[in-house]
Structure 1
Amino acid sequence: MAAKNGEKLSLVPNKQKQQKKKREKAKDNGDYLKNLGQQLLTSRAHINNLPILLTYITPNSPPQHALESLLSLQSFFTPLLPQLSSSSANSANQEPDPEIVYLTWLRSKFDDFVRCLVDILVSPQSEDALREILLDAVMEFVKVGNAGKFHSAIYHKLLRAIIHSELGAEDIVLVLLASKYFTYIDVCYFTYISLEKLVRTLEAKEDGNASLDAEKKIQSKTSMELSIHKMKFLLSRIPQLEALEENLQMWNGLGLFAEKDNKQETIAVKDKNTKKSQKSGDKVLSSRSIAKKMKLKLTKAWLSFLRLPLPLSVYKEVLVALHQSVIPYISNPIMLCDFLTQSYDIGGVVSVMALSSLYVLMTEHGLEYPNFYDKLYALLEPAIFIAKHRAKFFQLLDSSLKSSLLPAYLAAAFCKKLSRLTLFVPPSGAIVIVALVNNLLQKHPSISCLVHQERDTGETPVGEKRKQGIDHFKNEEMDPKKTNAIRSSLWEMDTLRHHYCAPVSRFAVSLANDLAVSARVPEISVIDLSSGSYGTIFNDEMKRRVKQVAGAFYNATPTSLFSESDFPGWEFKFTANGSEPHEESAKRQRTVGVEA
């Protein structure tokens, strides 16, 4: 037992020795890599150190080793890049030159170096600090890797690796790329180009998934949805064209927007690193020409992206931002009409989100959509008054119904449909409806007959008696032409005068008073009321100063729950014991039967 205990005690110093050896080995590796890098930078005789340093740039390598190798190889390759780009063109010579062979070999090692950097960059195992350094290194190669010009091939490899990787939709690499480099117009330009190419690869991948089994199809669909999320993130983070035009900075100002005509208006490009303007030989096209090129690339990228099978979350985000972020900057907005009309035909909240962009195309770009008002009428459901984007919908609804060219039957149908919804919607929705109905009646005097219409204005068939008090409005009918709204009346609006919510009843009474005045009253702004809720109504009531408060609900104590005036034609008679007469007779019959 003593020997065994002694053996156990001897394991502790052995373990410490092993850990000490590992630390010394790691330190030696750091010094070893530093020496390899210094030798590589000093003399060409140590060129074989290059493949050794490349072996340490892997996702499994310690971060300090990968960083030390990166610094050495980046210092080695950066001054050689202009020679490496020109060597590929001369490599096809029949008589091999040793110098060209050497440069060609270096070019292949540089490609391996970039590939290793990208692999670590998109690896979830890598540390965030190291990935930020690697991103800056790759973008430096993008800046000068093509004989001093923008290297679009390296940038496309970077974006392709990010899109097809397992990184999340808002990973730090995507955030850093957008925040640090999307302020440069040439980076945004090539981002549009690369994303368009990546969309084509995703479409080809989707077509090839038809032959896969069910499990692989699910995995492929999940991977594609993640890629779509990342593409949407990049597209939405590119600044608007006005912001890029105001600050025409380029990551590399050589060759992208080169001047072709000496007479063309030119401007100097500011270099952020040198804080100086380029010389006269490095001028670029005018801002108008640059904007035209950017619009073409933006158009192709977005149209390609919208062809993908977008997940529902991405689909909604796109519809919400399309009328502000895309339509004003696209070369021909009418090209979005197919996507928007299909979205508008889906119904529900998707149609509400597509309404903003579709309205812009109709009012500003001459789009003709005959079924617009039919689809808009179908959206009038109680659920729309609790939807997230109801405020924008009500504003567009009010704007769409203000046209003086709107037929009377259509205006009456919308007016009656909104009035009927007051019976089902919350108080905040009823207030919005009162404003919409008021604007409709003010803008379309031809439907003022709906305010107080007691008689049936239609013709009664022969042999059929005229029915009084019948509402001819067909609430379930989806076609506004067939609703018979013009033969109805707005009796629902009259019921709001007795609404349980005081703000609704006051607003309805004010509407009735305005309609009683023959003079035209101003329209009500729906914007101020469209985002209301129970909370806003309660807060407004708490701030309201009440001058007079009723002491009791009744002047005299009531003797019954209902009065006979509430039910004309009915009589409520009670016996001495409080039961109704038919109940008393039934009791008497049962008693007689028992005695018999």
Structure 2
Amino acid sequence: MASKKQKKNEDKYSLSDLKTLGHQLLSSRAHINNLPLLLSFITPSTRPKYALESLLSLQSFFLPLLPQLPSSTHSVSQNDPEFIYRTWVRSKFDDFVQYLLDIAICSESNEALREVVLDTLMEFVKVGNGGKFHSAIYHRLLDRVVHSSLDVHDVLLDLLSSKYFKYIDIRYFTYISFKKLSQRIGAKDISDDRREGLDTSGVNQPESSLDLSVLKLYHLLSHIPPLEGSDVKSNYDMWNAAGIFTGKENEKGHTGKQCKDEATNIKVLSPANIAKKMKLRFSKAWISFLGLPLPVDLYKEVLVNLHQVVIPYLSNPLMLCDFLTRSYDIGGVVSVMALSSLFVLMTQHGLDYPNFYEKLYALLESSVFMAKHRARFFQLLDSCLKSPLLPAYLAASFCKKLSWLSLAVPPSGALVIVALIHNLLRRHPSINCLVHQEGGNETTTDIKSAESGADDSTNVSSPSRVKSSMKTGIDPFDDKQTDPLKTNAMRSSLWEVDTLRHHYCPPVSRFVLSLENDLTVRAKTTEVAVNDFSSGSYATIFGDEIRRRVKQVPLAFYTATPTLLFPESDFLGWTFKLKDKDSTAVLDNTSKENGHFSAKRSRGESS
């Protein structure tokens, strides 16, 4: 019904008629009835030219009157005709704002018209509250945008962040609104009983309209530029100079730590006080946002950027300890991403996190060497193990676990492992015994007695019993153990690193050979930069190899044409029998030459 009426109005009035109606409205109160008529053209379904013409006329009409209009909540209890008139105009202004919001959040509206609508709304925000910042209109705008069906990368969100987030007062009220929006979204989520879709991390799994709202909330929040500084020389642009950062004179007429804006003769708070207020609002906005059930992808993105875009600007970074410890306890990739921020809190803000190294040890799995953010993890792992105060058993457990993983990781991971092990051996001379520890030095009886702590005579075994119980060639290291204290790493050796000397990938074998130095003398060696290998992959290894200048090319020279793909000496001790219809080919290992088995080929006719 409304669309038919709208079409009828568009057929009845031309653009020139609308322009005339606007001029009449601006010229005299006698044409105040033109106001509802012009308002009827401010709809998403109106043709853009008609809506734009009406919008410009109404904007010119309302802007000068806004400081004089009563509040929307003011009740009409006076018989003053002037007051009744202004109250009625105020109600029409509220309708106008509502119509503008409808156009702004409609993705089917003309983009140029939506940009004009946004600018009009922000002009009302600027002077709508008696000449001061109208935070209510601004909050309504953000609320409609966040809870609309607009895409995260809609042009309206980009315009809002690019054109207006440079103003310090708009950022301030944005943080205030974001805290309210986060609380509202969290309350709605609880009321809808959507907690069943959450895992133990609080990460929301299914996609929904609330997930879209959270994504848009993060998109806007992450596009607010950080505070430039808090020194006296800092100058902040303000959307409304008479806003929240205006100083108040004391009884003696002085403003204390406030500075004076010469252009507008307005006393403004000092940059230090502004920075203090901004940090407080920034912290509350982010803490409220992190309390929401975040979608999985967004949860990971927040963890990756938290130590760079959030922690440096918080009033008290330790407020994030609960969020980060919950994330770190999840395990897997999420724990790897939470490690960066947790490390910053521990090293720079004095966070005491119990069982940190036990959790870090549990993250050492083969999957982490193929994770997207593995480079940052390896750099932090190297930094966390740099302290010379680490116990020997802890350093040995990390060293042995990395050595164990080198057998199952890609070549790029093996390069990182060798670099990490080299640094650990150099920093902790007490574990250099792992480099070459003969097997069989300890018996099962010794191990059991050491673990039980018993030293009575019943545990003493005879030499023949000790000799029979020796486990030659068995690694005592327990790779399934999650407690570094119980891995038996100090009884093991780094035999896995020795196998890397014969790795199929030449860069790995070359790197291992290049690090075969006397690690017991620390002055002879230097630490390896882990970041040079942390982001490696098959592609980087291949690229480095094809760029290498090869001085000697390996050639295969045969005096006679080979008849076998592999030489017989490669299969010492094996016997192969190949039977077909006509003959039987036999490879045996019955003869010995120089103490070694040699396989000979014999042919026999079929029986």
Pick aligned residue for 1:506 from 507, 510, 526: 510
User: Partner amino acid for 2:190?
Assistant: D
How many angstroms apart in 1 are the aligned matches of 2:126 and 2:379? Answer: 47
Which residue pairs with 2:437 in the alignment?
A: 453
Aligned partner of residue 283 in structure 1, secondary structure: strand
Q: Choose between structure 1 and 2: higher helix proportion.
A: 1
Q: Give CA-to-partner distance per residue, 1:258-295, whole Å, 9 cap, x none.
A: 224535233355xxxxxxx5344x12111111111111
State whether structure 2 residue 36 is matched by structure 1 residue 79. no
How many angstroms apart in 2 are the aligned matches of 1:165 and 1:92? Answer: 31
How far the C-alpha of 1:166 sits from its partner, in A, is 0.7
**TM alignment of 1:174-189, pairs within 5 A:** 174-189=157-172
Aligned partner of residue 210 in structure 1, secondary structure: coil
How many angstroms apart in 1 are the aligned matches of 2:256 and 2:442? Answer: 71
2:78–2:84: 8 Å Cα contact kept in structure 1?
A: no
Which residue pairs with 2:364 in the alignment?
A: 380
How far the C-alpha of 1:519 sits from its partner, in A, is 3.7
Pick aligned residue for 2:247 from 244, 256, 259: 259
Which residue pairs with 2:595 in the alignment?
A: none
Q: Would the alpha carbon gap of residues 204 and 518 (structure 1) be closer, same or farther in structure 2, given more than 3 Å must change?
A: closer
For structure 1, which segment, 467-476 or 70-79, has the greater mean C-alpha deviation from structure 2 after superposition? 467-476
Pick aligned residue for 1:579 from 562, 586, 596: 586
State whether structure 2 residue 19 is matched by structure 1 residue 31. no
State whether structure 2 residue 216 is matched by structure 1 residue 239. no
1:564–1:571: 8 Å Cα contact kept in structure 2?
A: no
Which residue pairs with 1:344 in the alignment?
A: 328
How many angstroms apart in 1 are the aligned matches of 2:161 and 2:41? Answer: 29
Q: Would the alpha carbon gap of residues 503 and 558 (structure 1) be closer, same or farther in structure 2, given more than 3 Å must change?
A: farther
Which residue pairs with 2:457 in the alignment?
A: none
Aligned partner of residue 228 in structure 2, secondary structure: helix
1:323–1:356: 8 Å Cα contact kept in structure 2?
A: yes
1:185–1:244: 8 Å Cα contact kept in structure 2?
A: no
How many angstroms apart in 2 are the aligned matches of 1:347 and 1:211? Answer: 23
Q: Would the alpha carbon gap of residues 466 and 107 (structure 1) be closer, same or farther in structure 2, given more than 3 Å must change?
A: same
How many angstroms apart in 2 are the aligned matches of 1:572 and 1:105? Answer: 103
Aligned partner of residue 193 in structure 2, secondary structure: helix
1:120–1:126: 8 Å Cα contact kept in structure 2?
A: yes
Which residue pairs with 1:42 in the alignment?
A: 27
How many angstroms apart in 2 are the aligned matches of 1:439 and 1:514? Answer: 13
Which residue pairs with 1:304 in the alignment?
A: 288
**TM alignment of 1:5-404, pairs within 5 A:** 26=11, 28-85=13-70, 95-210=78-193, 222-242=208-228, 246-260=234-248, 262=254, 264-268=256-260, 277-280=262-265, 282-404=266-388
1:439–1:523: 8 Å Cα contact kept in structure 2?
A: yes
- In structure 2, stretches of 5+ residues that fail to align are 1-6, 198-203, 446-460, 591-602
User: Partner amino acid for 1:291?
Assistant: A
Q: Give CA-to-partner distance per residue, 1:551-574, whole Å, 9 cap, x none.
A: 32889979894666975xx48699
How many angstroms apart in 2 are the aligned matches of 1:318 and 1:449? Answer: 42
Q: Would the alpha carbon gap of residues 565 and 284 (structure 1) be closer, same or farther in structure 2, given more than 3 Å must change?
A: same
Q: Give CA-to-partner distance per residue, 1:316-368, whole Å, 9 cap, x none.
A: 11101100111111111111111111111111111111110011011111111
Which residue pairs with 2:536 in the alignment?
A: 532
How far the C-alpha of 1:219 sits from its partner, in A, is 14
1:183–1:244: 8 Å Cα contact kept in structure 2?
A: no
How far the C-alpha of 1:296 sits from its partner, in A, is 0.8
State whether structure 2 residue 477 is matched by structure 1 residue 492. no
**TM alignment of 1:452-471, pairs within 5 A:** 452-456=436-440, 458=442, 460-461=444-445, 462=461, 463-464=465-466, 465-471=469-475
Q: Would the alpha carbon gap of residues 423 and 239 (structure 1) be closer, same or farther in structure 2, given more than 3 Å must change?
A: same
State the TM-score, normalized to the length of structure 2.
0.84
Q: Would the alpha carbon gap of residues 263 and 102 (structure 1) be closer, same or farther in structure 2, given more than 3 Å must change?
A: closer
Q: Would the alpha carbon gap of residues 45 and 138 (structure 1) be closer, same or farther in structure 2, given more than 3 Å must change?
A: same
Q: Would the alpha carbon gap of residues 319 and 221 (structure 1) be closer, same or farther in structure 2, given more than 3 Å must change?
A: same
How many angstroms apart in 1 are the aligned matches of 2:141 and 2:475? Answer: 67
2:44–2:103: 8 Å Cα contact kept in structure 1?
A: yes
Which residue pairs with 1:409 in the alignment?
A: 393
1:334–1:367: 8 Å Cα contact kept in structure 2?
A: yes
Aligned partner of residue 241 in structure 1, secondary structure: coil
Q: Would the alpha carbon gap of residues 73 and 243 (structure 1) be closer, same or farther in structure 2, given more than 3 Å must change?
A: farther
Q: Give CA-to-partner distance per residue, 1:130-156, whole Å, 9 cap, x none.
A: 100100000011011112211101100
Q: Give CA-to-partner distance per residue, 1:178-217, whole Å, 9 cap, x none.
A: 0000000000000000011111211221222139999xxx
How many angstroms apart in 1 are the aligned matches of 2:206 and 2:491? Answer: 57
How many angstroms apart in 2 are the aligned matches of 1:75 and 1:499? Answer: 78
How many angstroms apart in 2 are the aligned matches of 1:243 and 1:321? Answer: 20
1:264–1:285: 8 Å Cα contact kept in structure 2?
A: no
Equivalent pairs, count: 552
- In structure 1, stretches of 5+ residues that fail to align are 1-21, 270-276, 592-596
How many angstroms apart in 2 are the aligned matches of 1:219 and 1:545? Answer: 51
Which residue pairs with 2:453 in the alignment?
A: none
What is the RMSD computed on CA atoms of the aligned residues?
3.2
Q: Give CA-to-partner distance per residue, 1:403-434, whole Å, 9 cap, x none.
A: 11211111111111111111111111111111
How many angstroms apart in 1 are the aligned matches of 2:115 and 2:529? Answer: 50
Which residue pairs with 1:594 in the alignment?
A: none
Which residue pairs with 1:4 in the alignment?
A: none
1:37–1:72: 8 Å Cα contact kept in structure 2?
A: yes
Q: Would the alpha carbon gap of residues 497 and 30 (structure 1) be closer, same or farther in structure 2, given more than 3 Å must change?
A: same
2:169–2:243: 8 Å Cα contact kept in structure 1?
A: no
Q: Would the alpha carbon gap of residues 40 and 409 (structure 1) be closer, same or farther in structure 2, given more than 3 Å must change?
A: same
Q: Would the alpha carbon gap of residues 213 and 127 (structure 1) be closer, same or farther in structure 2, given more than 3 Å must change?
A: farther
2:247–2:258: 8 Å Cα contact kept in structure 1?
A: yes
State the TM-score, normalized to the length of structure 1.
0.86
How far the C-alpha of 1:306 sits from its partner, in A, is 0.8
How many angstroms apart in 1 are the aligned matches of 2:291 and 2:9? Answer: 57
Aligned partner of residue 579 in structure 1, secondary structure: strand
For structure 1, which segment, 40-49 or 240-249, has the greater mean C-alpha deviation from structure 2 after superposition? 240-249
How far the C-alpha of 1:483 sits from its partner, in A, is 1.0
How many angstroms apart in 2 are the aligned matches of 1:25 and 1:573? Answer: 94
